[in-house]
Amino acid sequence: MSVLSRGIRNAFRNIIRTFSIVIILGLSIGLSLTMLIAHQAVGDKINSVKASVGNTVSISPAGVRGFEGGGNPLTEANLTSVKSLPHVTSAIATLSDRLTTSDTNLQSAVSAGELGQRFSQNSGVSFTPPAGGFGGRGGGGNGTESFTPPVTLNGTTAPTNLSVGAAAGGGTFTLKSGTVFAGNSSADVAIVGTSLASKNNLKVGSTFTAYNTTIKVIGVFDAGNSFSDNQVIMPLTTVQTLSSQAGDLSTITLNIDSIDNVASVTSQATKVLGSAADVTNASQEANNVISPLQSIQNISLYSLVGAVIAGSVIILLTMIMIVRERRREIGVIKAIGGSNVKVMGQFMAEAVTFTLLAAVIGVGLGVLAGNPITRLLVNNSTSTGTTTGGGGFGGGGGRGFGIVRNNFSTIHAAIGWDILFYGLAAALIIAIVGSGLASFFIAKIRPAEVMRVE
C-alpha cells in the first residue's frame, strides 16, 4: 500500500475524532476566508472612495461664498489655466444666479418662512415684516409677508451634478421625464426641479421666460430635497449670454484622479490663480469616510491572522496527538525498512485529508458569510446627511440649509478564484508543515526503543 493511500485511510480510523477535527478546522478555515474576503472588499472600497469621494478641488472668486460676500467673478481664462494641471481629470464650470420677479415669470416653490424673511432683511432686500415680528418674537406673528424667495438658477457644464456651483443644493439627480442637455450646449433650454415644475405647471415642452427670453423645458428632475427641486438648470453659455455675464464663472470644480493628489493640486491651483480666487478641497470629508474603513480593514487583517494561527495550532496539536498514539506503528514501519520520509509522508497525507475535508466546510462558510459579515463590519461607517428647504441665504422654510452629502452605504464582498486559491494554499501549507514537524521528531527514534517501551 502506498504512503498516500495509507495516510488517507488512516484519516478515517477514528470517525468521531475525524468529524470533530474537520468541523473545528473547517470553522477556522471559514473564518479565515471570511476575513480575507472582508479585507479585500474593504480595500477595494477604500480605493474606490479615494477615486470618487473628496477628490474635488473647489475654486470660487476671492471673498465670495454662494451669493454672499463680494469680489470679481472667475473667468474662462482661469478655467483654462487650472484644468490642465497634473492629476486633473475634468473640470466643471458654473455660473449661478437668482431669478426674481423682474427676471422671470416663474414662482418659487419655497415659501419665505421665518428664515427667508430674516435672510432678506439682513441682505437689505425691501419687504414688509409680519405684524408682531418674526415667529412670535415680540408679537403674534400674524402679519402678511411681502418677500418672495428667488428661483435658483444654475448654468453649468455638468447638469446632472447637483453638488457643484454657488447654487449647489446637493441631492441625487433623477430624471423624471424628458432629456438632459449636453454640457457644451448653448440652446435656450432648461431642466427644472419637480417642486418648481409643480408650482408653475411645467412639463416637458412647456416654456417660461427668463431675462426676457423664452426658455423651453426639456426635462424634469427630482433631487430629493426642497432646495434643489426649486432649481432651474441651464447650459452655462446660455446663462452667460442671457444674463450679460459673458465669460464669467461663479465656481470651478476640478475632479482629481485620487484623493492622494488633492493637496498638491490645491497648492498648484492656488499658486496659478493667486489672489483672484479662493481654493478649497473636500479631502477631509473623504478622510473621515476612509478612516473607519481603514480601522475595519485592520480588524479583518488581525482576525485573519488570528484565524490562521488558530488553524495552525489545531492541526499541529492534532498531529502531535496522533503521532504519539502511533509510536508503536512507526517503530514497526521502520523495523521493516520504512524510511523517515515515508513515515512523514504518511502523516502529511493524513493531515492533508483532514484539511481538504475541512476546506469544503470552510469554503461554504466563507461564501455564505462573506457578504453579511462584511456589511456588518462597515455598517457603522455609513452616514448620510440631508437638508431641506434652506440652501443658503435667500431661501425659505424652517429647517436649516446646506448641501446633501451622500456617502456609500454598502460594500459588496465577492469570493473569487484568487481568494480560494490563497486560502486553500495557506491551509495545505499549514497542514503539511504541522504534520511534518510533529512526525519528524518521532520518525527519528529507533525501532528498538519504541518496542522496548511498548
pLDDT at 285: 63
* pLDDT above 70: percentage of residues in the chain: 72
Mean pLDDT of the chain: 76
- Looking at the DSSP assignment, which residues form a beta bridge with residue 253? 58, 92
Give the span between the Cα atoms of 178 and 194, in whole angstroms: 12
pLDDT number for residue 328:
75
Q: Give the closest residue to 83 by CA, choosing from 95, 74, 71.
A: 74
Contacts of 102 (CB under 8 A, 6+ apart): none
Percent of the chain with pLDDT over 90: 24
Q: What is the pLDDT of residue 304?
A: 80
Give the integer Cα–Cα distance in Å for 434 and 443: 14
Distance CA 125, CA 118 (A): 10
Global confidence as pTM: 0.54
Contacts of 283 (CB under 8 A, 6+ apart): 54, 55, 259, 262, 263
Using the predicted structure, report yes or no on whether residue 116 has a pLDDT greater than 60.
no
Note the pLDDT of residue 207: 95
90-99, pLDDT tens digit by residue? 999 999 998 8
- Tell me the pLDDT tens digit for each residue of 134-188: 343 333 444 444 567 788 899 999 999 887 776 677 788 999 999 999 999 999 9
For residue 118, pLDDT over 70 is answered with no
pLDDT at 225 over 90: no
Q: What is the per-residue pLDDT across 321-375, written as a single tens digit (0 to 9) for each? A: 877 777 777 777 777 776 777 777 777 888 888 888 888 888 888 778 777 777 7
Query: How far apart (Å, rounded) are the C-alpha atoms in residues 309 and 446?
Result: 32
Q: What is the pLDDT of residue 150?
A: 83
Q: Checking phi first, is residue 392 left (phi over 0); if not, alpha (psi -120 to 50) or beta?
A: left
pLDDT digits (tens, 9 = 90+) for 387-411: 334 444 444 443 333 333 344 444 5
pLDDT interval class at 289 (50, 70, 90): low
pLDDT of residue 120: 59
Which of 17-26, 56-65, 96-105, 318-327 has the highest mean predicted lDDT (pLDDT)?
Answer: 96-105
**Lowest model confidence (mean pLDDT) among 55-59, 260-264, 295-299:** 295-299
**Phi, psi angle pair for 111, to nearest 5°:** -75, 155
CB 439 within 8 A of CB 374: no
